[in-house]
Structure 1
């Protein structure tokens, strides 16, 4: 993952991912730009997934602590 993705918080990463999705839904025809956006989208999706897993683990820990 690039340092740019690491610097984003979850909300910003998700917002950028939504923007990329909208770009593809509009049917833009630029193949090179599409490839760049696809790669960036996968990077952002991975980062979001990792952050969600991290938060989920923290929630489990907190629940165990107070159970």
Structure 2
């Protein structure tokens, strides 16, 4: 993605893509393109969450309170 999106912007776009695909009235070629965009947005969101998790882990270590911090992923 050429533009840098915030996590919230990426999630909004991802939700729009899911809605379009669930409607099912998108031509196959366009659906594939939309799906690829969704996968890119999903990766971007995951990377942003991982970066936040790494920052929180560092902060908690500096405070000496916890040695590890993990985010429970939704299934």
Question: In which range does the TM-score fall when normalised by the shorter chain?
Answer: 0.7 to 0.9
Which runs of no fewer than 5 residues in structure 2 stay unpaired? Answer: 65-75
Partners of 2:48 and 2:14 lie apart in 1 by 14
Report the count of equivalent residues: 64
Structure 1 stretches of at least 4 aligned residues deviating more than 3 Å after TM superposition: none
Match in the other structure for 2:39: 42
- Pick the structure with more helix per residue: 1
Question: What is aligned with 1:3?
Answer: 2
Structure 1, unaligned runs of 5 or more? none
Q: TM-score, normalised by structure 1?
A: 0.88
Question: Are 1:20 and 2:17 matched, yes or no?
Answer: yes
| Corresponding residue SS for 1:3 | coil
Cα RMSD (Å) = 1.0
**Greater relative CO (CA pairs within 8 A, separation 6+):** 1
